[in-house]
Chains A and B, each alone.
Chain A
């Protein structure tokens, strides 16, 4: 029973793309970007490639001419690089929420979204992982931070939160790559067979053949795959929580006023999931219109994600309020200096913009069903991406500029090198994503097919559509 009201997202009971009789296996729609050379994707690749080249140029200049080319100085020893590092690691929590948590809870509407979210995670992690190296004084010695056995019997200092960062991020990256590649196997097999059917033994067929790891779709292989995915989905959730907790502890473990706060662990994890959904909404909107995927990234998906987005906004707002209320009430001198700078001082424009973009706008727009449509949701997402970056900036630079011994207060103006590197990092993200789009289907073909097959089962006895289906099996 479906009640379709004009102007509202569809409420049909099957949370799956409406079947298209001319494309029963979804292959034509979802594999179109991979056929031939599409000018839109090529242009996108080249433009983001150019921006990524800016990253390389600026970073190279910085390595050659020392960190003095940045705008950093005492007491602002950390600045835009660390803020952007935390930002990118936060973005990487998109995939985990959508893929893992929704998979584990059996929410069927996640099917078209999982792969584009997992891709965001992997690429955001790669880029986020670059920034700790970029901000080093001697980046060519970054391997000192790794636990590599050496003849001097030197180990890294495992008591340092930076080492926890390294361990957490590499674990998360490994897990996320696995979690992206596992569900890709059947789709690579489809691509292998297609390429092989067009021209037997072609390079494309052989490369996809290697990637497909000999997938033949036997029941045994399906069982192994589903086991693997299920295990990864469960494991990746605590790993993701630990990653952003460890990153937040770079600040919380330090004595700086308004850094040394016990709330940072959960605060940053919530913020990360929040910014991850924002990036996902923006990416989905671009994919929907750029690749004509309206049937898959449809209004229902945007509505559900929009509700999650709104929930995360409220959670983030709660944590922010709790942190600021306790600081203000405690009235401790060093902390109040930072607080005042945020609320009414030098950082006020950034702080209040952050609150408007992260709380006021999402509440006003996403609180209504019309606001949870693709375009408004994506616009709010852009605002939240900016707002969450501002949050990192306010936390990092705001506290550092006001040290306890106020004789050494100092201001910070980022240089063109830092801005170039950060802009370039967005270019690198775009480049990786555009390349990925031309190599693999961004919507998981077999998962959509599987959902279609299961729809009659999962709808049995359901009178009204629900937002997410209850898990019938583990």
Chain B
């Protein structure tokens, strides 16, 4: 079992509902305008905006970037205390209580998707009522990042075990996948050849971010239509036609 995600950048509208859902689900702190200007915003999932084409045919491509849960994660070997490690089901996991905050993992992540708690989050009343009881808020001084909503994965697996069955494809949805109005984010088991993610990942529109680094990310992006011209789009193939085997 290897958890993975497919994100279709051709249909992402950049609405950022996934970003908000991620904040809400994972008790991510809101750092405020000044801190955000200093690069301390804690968007575990961010929408990158890339302009493609030349005026007047400019298009904007939105690319949601989150922790790629790399098969060969560069963040894992450098943590001196084993606060980040790889689980059997393909997640790059964080152990907040073991993290002493050296921030080496953040430096070695080529996707810059790791975040540090420069201050502890504060939820003055009544904001504390919005906290998700399944997710621990982090103290100051530890690293955090997207977990593929591990609390939901755990919940789904527990449920399936109780009912003595396998987890069904599409049963476990991280907050971002659940909230996307365009259904651009699909989550599931990459090792199951019949799952939606596995079928989409086989598409000839598929590419991975910074593939040449050998990190083996579990997040696959789809990009098909060539919107033309140079522009600063993310590296990836743009085939002419999409004769692929997925819907």
A residues engaging B (CB < 8 A)? 65-68, 70-78, 132, 135-139, 141-142, 144-145, 154-157, 159-163, 166, 250, 253-256, 400, 403-408, 410
- Asked whether B38 lies within 8 Å of A137 as measured between CB atoms, the reply is no
16 A-B residue pairings within 8 Å (CB atoms): A66-B120, A73-B38, A73-B39, A77-B103, A77-B116, A135-B103, A137-B102, A138-B141, A144-B81, A145-B100, A159-B78, A160-B78, A254-B107, A254-B108, A255-B108, A255-B213
Not counting A65-B119, A137-B99, a sample of 7 additional A-B residue pairs whose C-beta atoms are within 8 angstroms of each other reads A68-B119, A70-B118, A73-B118, A74-B39, A77-B106, A139-B100, A142-B100
Name the contact of B40 in the complex, choosing from A74, A144, A154 (C-beta under 8 A): A74
CA distance A163 to B80 in the complex (A): 6
B47 CB, nearest partner CB in chain A, Å: 10
Chain B residues 22 to 60 lying within 8 A of chain A, measured CB to CB, are: 35, 38-41, 46, 48-49
Of the listed residues A74, A255, A407, the one surrounded by the most CB atoms of chain B closer than 10 A to its CB is A74
- Asked whether B80 lies within 8 Å of A254 as measured between CB atoms, the reply is no
Name the contact of A160 in the complex, choosing from B79, B107, B119, B142 (C-beta under 8 A): B79
- Asked whether A254 lies within 8 Å of B78 as measured between CB atoms, the reply is yes
- Asked whether B65 lies within 8 Å of A68 as measured between CB atoms, the reply is no
- Asked whether B78 lies within 8 Å of A161 as measured between CB atoms, the reply is yes
- Asked whether B118 lies within 8 Å of A403 as measured between CB atoms, the reply is no
Of the listed residues A135, A159, A406, the one surrounded by the most CB atoms of chain B closer than 10 A to its CB is A159
CA distance A473 to B119 in the complex (A): 61
* Interface flag for B111 (CB, 8 Å): yes
Name the contact of A66 in the complex, choosing from B98, B100, B141 (C-beta under 8 A): B141
A79 CB, nearest partner CB in chain B, Å: 10
Give every chain A residue within 8 A of B14 (Cβ-Cβ): none
7 shortest interchain CB distances as A-B pairs: A137-B101, A137-B141, A73-B39, A68-B118, A410-B39, A66-B140, A77-B103
The secondary structure that dominates the B interface is: loop
CA distance A141 to B140 in the complex (A): 13
A255-B110, A403-B110, A408-B112 known; A160+B40 contact, CB < 8 A: no
A157-B82, A160-B80 known; A72+B104 contact, CB < 8 A: no
CB-CB nearest in chain B for A400: B107
Proximity string of chain B (94-129) to chain A, C-beta cutoff 8 Å, 1 when within and 0 when not: 000011111110111011100111111000000000
- Asked whether A407 lies within 8 Å of B74 as measured between CB atoms, the reply is no
A403-B110, A404-B110, A407-B48 known; A67+B78 contact, CB < 8 A: no
Name the contact of A138 in the complex, choosing from B39, B74, B79, B99 (C-beta under 8 A): B99
CA distance A141 to B48 in the complex (A): 36
Give every chain B residue within 8 A of A74 (Cβ-Cβ): 39-41, 106, 112, 115-116
- Asked whether B77 lies within 8 Å of A157 as measured between CB atoms, the reply is yes
Give every chain A residue within 8 A of B108 (Cβ-Cβ): 254-256
- Asked whether A138 lies within 8 Å of B101 as measured between CB atoms, the reply is yes
A66-B141, A67-B141 known; A254+B118 contact, CB < 8 A: no
* Interface flag for B93 (CB, 8 Å): no
Name the contact of B210 in the complex, choosing from A77, A154, A161, A405 (C-beta under 8 A): A405
* Interface flag for B209 (CB, 8 Å): yes
Give every chain B residue within 8 A of A76 (Cβ-Cβ): 39
CB-CB nearest in chain A for B82: A157
CA distance A408 to B210 in the complex (A): 15
- Asked whether A137 lies within 8 Å of B119 as measured between CB atoms, the reply is no
CB-CB nearest in chain B for A403: B112
CA distance A68 to B119 in the complex (A): 6
